[in-house]
Chain A
Amino acid sequence: MPGKLKVKIVAGRHLPVMDRASDLTDAFVEVKFGNTTFKTDVYHKSLNPQWNSEWFKFEVDDEDLQDEPLQITVLDHDTYSANDAIGKVYIDIDPLLYSEAATVISGWFPIYDTIHGIRGEINVVVKVDLFNDLNRFRQSSCGVKFFCTTSIPKCYRAVIIHGFVEELVVNEDPEYQWIDRIRTPRASNEARQRLISLMSGELQRKIGLKVLEMRGNAVVGYLQCFDLEGESGLVVRAIGTACTLDKLSSTAAFLPACNSPSKEMKESPLVHPPSHGCRSTHNSPIHTATGSRLTQNFSVSVPTLIYTGMGSGSAGKEGGPFKALLRQQTQSALEQREFPFFTLTAFPPGFLVHVGGVVSARSVKLLDRIHNPDEPETRDAWWAEIRQEIKSHAKALGCHAVVGYSESTSICEEVCILSASGTAAVLNPRFLQDGTVEGCLEQRLSWQPGFFSIGLEENLPAGCGFCHIPYDELNMPFPAHLTYCYSCRKQKVPDVLFTTIDLPADATVIGKGCLIQARLCRLKKKAQAEANATAISNLLPFMEYEVHTQLMNKLKLKGMNALFGLRIQITVGENMLMGLASATGVYLTALPTPGGIQIAGKTPNDGSYEQHISHMQKKINDTIAKNKELYEINPPEIPEEIIGSPIPEPRQRSRLLRSQSESSDEVIELDLSHGKKDAFVLEIDDTDAMEDVHSLLTDVPPPSGFYSCNTEIMPGINNWTSEIQMFTSVRVSRLSNINLTNQTLNKNFNDLCENLLKSLYFKLRSMIPCCLCHVNFTVSLPEDELIQVTVTAVAITFDKHQAVQTTKTQVEKSSQRASIDNEELLQFPLELCTDTLASHPFSSAKATSIDYSSFADRCNSWIELIKLKAQTIRRGSIKTTMPVEKASPLTEGHFRQRSAPACANSTVGVVKMTPLSFIPGAKITKYLGIINMFFIRETTSLREEGGVSGFLHAFIAEVFAMVRAHVAALGGNAVVSYIMKQCVFMENPNKNQAQCLINVSGDAVIFVRESELEIISTQQPIASCQPACSGGEIAT
């Protein structure tokens, strides 16, 4: 009995009218946890009941505490008939289970009903008393912290990064149980919500146990998803990276930590980055995976791509032996792990040594062939298979680890595509295990001479190390085009680099980055079972290939040479497959300047054709030039001799290696034919290719003042101002079903995405200059002719004037920042920005196009004034009416309503939401716990609710509201690393019905504006954080 959960129901407000006769409600509340239920008294005839209940106490196992949500139901009491439910609130009490997070959950929660949406609010206080339990065989994992953030959270330090954790639980989907035929939609929705909540809790607990086993204390980059398999069940699965984190307290930050790991870390960046050889990546060879066939299941495994080349051998001679040693060591550290995967996308300095390239694997499965649908084994095996594949791809790239790793599924009827992707990498072993630290130390001593000679030389152009190829040049798994690194000139680099991670902080970039998308549709015949799966798996390699070609073309067109944050989504529908790849293109100084694109016609004799070709060529060249200007890409000219002669290439084309599960030995080679050395030749031999070229040119750059990227921050912009706007936009398009061809489909899809982007730019025009960061597109095919695109991103304003100044010093700045970071004085990691901000108050003020803040201030005070007045008026009038107690009920009601929340402030505190891991201009002082919520909304009066748009608009707004309310109740003022993982929308306009499921997650945090922080920290340097946050923006 190691825990006591205490709940108090304080009050309600804005309840709906449940009794038509009196226009009032007789509300009471049921509080349920596990199998125990308490009830409050009925508060008669009020829409703003004051229950002020006693403390309801639940004595429970901590296992239950982790699994179960607290369920609060508000009902309307009815003497003669059954009580009517008004709505529910589910509260995840997990944040109360670890010591450093929230201590109390207290606040106004929207009361939610799956049919009516939000119906008023309820004020609840929740506390947990945990008793220490040292039982080793316990099933709970209280105390393990979870973070959605895919980097080391800002106020923590990574002592050890243990590695990959995953778990998967399966259950029958309540919507498909027999009982669903007789129960109401509400009951069925609630059963589903509750089940997923329970399963998420269980999943988290199980992952926590694994982390404890690994001796970690936290999971970073936690990603939980659910698969609605339909008849075969409901799967909730999660992956993450187990870590041992240390909280950075202000004191600890200043005292040199004496224990070895931290000391090691401090030194490592200085010592490491460039010294261990160089590897590079190259063009895009494609490696196909083989899925083994499970005995009872039909499964087709599909090609996997490895983007980027591999070469191997470090060109650096001195680095060679050392690198080998390093690799050995790291390998030993990693080999103990089944899967050396990391869900992180940004890393502590020095952690990432080399990057190989993108590795991915896909597999097509049939859900109706699962033998024990209720057991997780089959799915576990499926994923294990895919992960194995990823691992072998990484190995082929000479890498022992995969970073920026993620998994996803796409389901249509009984067909399911499982996908995994990541970036093959070589990591610094120091962070991976305690044991290796000593080894490292020794080794460093013995290698000092060599090491220093490299170190000194290479320290200057830091930030190119990760580009160097990790594989052996002489033994490349595919041919690639290598050159000497343009930064250090010592090691080999590929000409193009694709990765799934964020741009490393120390990477040097020229100009700005931009969002690059490849979009693709492929029609497929409707088919059943195996035939369908085979058809899909036959299509997949071609889609991958085309997506890749498109990305490559668009990258060249932008004059850039590397992609970060690459995410390829393949969606399966009844009669088509959709592919959408998003990434952020940048120009890395370490990589060679990309060549242009050359168009070659097939029939050189035709004069007019020739003319057309040359016209196109001119257009393309113009576009490249324009883009270079737009993104400020002006790399310094480097004389050829310095670079050295290009390395002779065995062949100049990269290949696509593909294998198929049925015949795993057979290796088919696909020719990616990406052409000659620097000119990238596009052959226009048929209308298809023509289309391709056209589509290349139809992508319109964002309007001036706008930038966009899908990574955390925009390379080349580092002077963010504090205004942010997170948003979700959803579009569903119906295809006219006449004469659907691949081309029209492609065009439609392309237009859909482009128009969506244009709309976003238009909507957010008042924020110019601004950047859309973390632009996340998801495509789904809910029905035959419907395409649904969902975008979540955040718009951040930045200071244009400063940008000009900073570009010059950008290199120094980034290295400076890196050094600050690794000095462990992470306390004020963004200090730099504040300084610059503070020193240019004028420019920053000028840059914001609308002087919004001052207006806001004015109006703020104006509203305050009204409130103040209202209060005095009220007081006055109460006084005068004292003797005459026969006030009208209306007035009385108003008085009560006004006085109830008067103690709490009357306005609602602002909660920021962002998909990024940070808040510009602010410092996160505390992580309060993970937010992971699942909602279903259904309607049988679609038209009355404003049609599909009205319905979904209201629902998403409500989801945001519920997330904010939970964060505020935890005492937080922001959600970082927010993600909408699922938005499943189904409609039936003929029946006037629609249903939508949404799953969101993120980290609840407290942040303090840097300006406030400075004032406080000068006053009391140590106890700075706490008072600041309580006094800060977290109004009630």
Chain B
Amino acid sequence: MTNELDIFVGNTTLIDEDVYRLWLDGYSVSDAVGLRVRSGILEQTGATAGVLQSDTMDHYRTFHMLERLLHTPPKLLHQLVFQIPPSRQALLIERYYAFDEAFVREVLGKKLSKGTKKDLDNISAKTGVTLKSCRRQFDNFKRVFKVVEEMRGSLAGNIQQHFLLSDRLARDYAAVVFFANNRFETGKKKLQYLTFGDLAFCAELMIQNWTPGAVADSQLDDMDVDLDKEFLQDLKELKVLVADKDLLDLHKSLVCTALRGKLSVFAEMEANFKNLSRGLVNIASKLTHTKDVRDLFVDLVEKFIEPCRSDRWPLNDVRLFLNQYSASVHSLDGFRHQTLWDRYMVTLRSCLLRMYHD
């Protein structure tokens, strides 16, 4: 005797968190049943495998029906078919939009296109995240991207409003969208050591300071997704800091005077100052080219982090150096772009410090 039909419908929709996780992780019903059996649930509850199978199927069916609504979370709040307490709705949404660190590092900065989607099986094989789960996460990125791409206002705010995510998760999504839109290269081998957290941290700073929305009285486009073109154009002006030899020497002497005796790597710093400064200023001046924008993180690592790391600068020395390096510019009389310099360096300094680890 076989059950042809087997359903359970509650007035309040039953959500089993464990099964939800298995479903999100992309396990098939039979795999999920296997995993649940291994969790010892049968012993705890005295249920039979048949009961577990039926229960899992039922939950999967419910999730499948809910998935359509989860694509537009406000709909989940307004719909009438599933009566779900608000706490559970929040949980459903939050978990559905949560993503795996391993996965996001693979996709971050890539174009959210069909091509990338075809690559998902490789990513799945590489990260150990099931293909199904990869698809969900990728589709989530893409969906969020499409919705907020053209929108004005705070990026994280828009995401939170349209997807009802928690603050933390909305900010992570803002980073994903920002990276995808600017196509920052993050996949290079030398960038592998960076975590999603590092990159999201940088993205958030850039969104705050380098986008058109960052300028308080900006009457034009209040866009958080793109970098401020005008700002990038202006950054060329910084070139004078390395092009003008006197200015460069003066800058170096100011920094060296201030840091003498305070750095364990003073000699290395003194020897490398011009290289480092050239690196940082050149990165700024080249940001008008899309290609160079994409390589921003590669450049930061190559031009600054790697040289320091090879000389074994301690993090604290890097901090002291960067602080002094950006502050000293204010004492350069011939230099007129102090505000521009700050807008660039405040963000860059924090990013570099965050990125400076093994």
Chain A residues proximal to chain B, CB less than 8 Å: 13-14, 108, 110, 118, 121, 703, 725-736, 748, 751-752, 755, 758-763, 765, 786, 788, 852, 855-860, 862-863, 866, 869-870, 873-874, 876-877, 880-881, 883, 887-888, 890-891, 894, 897-898, 901, 906-908, 910-913, 946, 948-950, 952-954, 956-958, 960-961, 964-965, 985
Contact = CB atoms under 8 A, between A and B. Distances in A.
Contacts of B6: 730-732, 949
B271 interface: no
A956 B80 CA distance: 13
A763 B161 contact: no
Nearest to A121: B80
Given A726-B11, A949-B6, A953-B61, A14 B78 contact: yes
B14 A763 contact: yes
Contacts of B57: 949
Nearest to B57: A949
A861 to B, nearest CB: 9
Contact of A728 (B9, B77, B81, B154): B9
A260 to B, nearest CB: 43
Interface stretch (B45-53, B112-120, B274-282): B45-53
B46 A703 contact: yes
A860 to B, nearest CB: 5
B160 A866 contact: yes
Nearest to B77: A907
A794 to B, nearest CB: 9
B150 A890 contact: yes
Contacts of B12: 725
Contacts of B78: 13-14, 901, 906-908
A956 B152 contact: no
B56 to A, nearest CB: 11
A946 B7 CA distance: 12
Nearest to A880: B222
A948 B61 contact: no
Contacts of B46: 703
A839 B219 CA distance: 62
Interface stretch (B83-91, B193-201, B331-339, B350-358): B83-91
B10 A856 contact: no
Given A866-B160, A869-B160, A880-B153, A734 B4 contact: yes
B181 interface: no
Contacts of B48: 755, 758
Interface in B1-55: 1-14, 45-48, 50-52, 54-55
Given A765-B45, A873-B153, A961-B82, 8 more contacts: A108-B80, A755-B50, A866-B164, A894-B162, A908-B78, A948-B4, A949-B5, A956-B7
Nearest to B59: A763
Interface string B62-81: 10110000000011011111
A870 B160 contact: yes
A13 B65 CA distance: 19
A86 B26 CA distance: 35
B166 interface: yes
A874 B161 CA distance: 8
A82 B188 CA distance: 59
Chain A binding surface, main DSSP class? helix
Contacts of A758: 47-48, 51
B55 A961 contact: no
Contacts of B222: 877, 880-881
B11 A912 contact: yes
B8 A762 contact: no
Interface string B275-318: 00000000000000000000000000000000000000000000
B65 A954 contact: yes
B326 interface: no
A748 B1 contact: yes
Interface string B145-178: 0010011111001101110101000000000000
Given A14-B79, A762-B45, A859-B91, A953 B55 contact: no
Contacts of B166: 862, 866
A13 B79 CA distance: 10
A759 B150 contact: no
A957 B81 contact: yes
Contacts of B45: 703, 762, 765
Given A110-B81, A703-B46, A949 B160 contact: no
Contacts of B152: 877, 880-881, 887, 891
B55 A763 contact: yes
Contacts of A908: 77-80, 83
A743 to B, nearest CB: 13
Given A891-B151, A908-B77, A961-B81, A873 B10 contact: no
B157 A869 contact: yes
B355 to A, nearest CB: 30
Interface of B: 1-14, 45-48, 50-52, 54-55, 57-58, 61-62, 64-65, 74-75, 77-83, 85-91, 147, 150-154, 157-158, 160-162, 164, 166, 219, 222
Contacts of B61: 946, 949-950, 953
Given A725-B12, A734-B2, A880-B222, A953 B7 contact: yes
A757 to B, nearest CB: 10
Contacts of A866: 160-161, 164, 166
A860 B13 CA distance: 17
A191 to B, nearest CB: 25
A733 B65 contact: no
A269 to B, nearest CB: 36
B67 to A, nearest CB: 12
A744 to B, nearest CB: 9
Contacts of A856: 85-87
Contact of B81 (A118, A760, A912, A952): A118
Contacts of B2: 733-734
22 contacts: A13-B78, A118-B80, A727-B8, A732-B6, A755-B51, A758-B48, A759-B8, A759-B51, A762-B51, A763-B8, A788-B5, A863-B89, A869-B157, A887-B152, A907-B86, A910-B83, A910-B85, A946-B64, A948-B4, A950-B61, A960-B9, A964-B80
B27 to A, nearest CB: 18
A898 B77 CA distance: 12
B5 A870 contact: no
Contacts of B82: 957, 961
B1 A751 contact: yes
A14 B75 CA distance: 8
Nearest to B93: A863
Contacts of A729: 7-9
Contacts of A960: 9, 11, 81, 83
Which among A726, A762, A857, A901 has the highest number of chain B CB atoms within 10 Å?
A: A762
Contacts of B50: 755
Which among B9, B65, B74, B83 has the highest number of chain A CB atoms within 10 Å?
A: B9
Given A731-B6, A734-B2, A862 B90 contact: yes
B237 to A, nearest CB: 29
Given A863-B90, A911-B83, A732 B161 contact: no
B5 A873 contact: no
B54 A759 contact: yes
Contacts of A954: 65
A388 to B, nearest CB: 40
A859 B9 contact: no
B1 A948 contact: no
Contacts of B85: 856, 910
Contacts of B14: 725, 763
B125 to A, nearest CB: 29
Nearest to B6: A731
A978 B117 CA distance: 48
B147 to A, nearest CB: 8
Given A110-B81, A121-B80, A906-B77, A730 B65 contact: no
A1002 B10 CA distance: 16
B161 A873 contact: yes
A121 B81 CA distance: 11
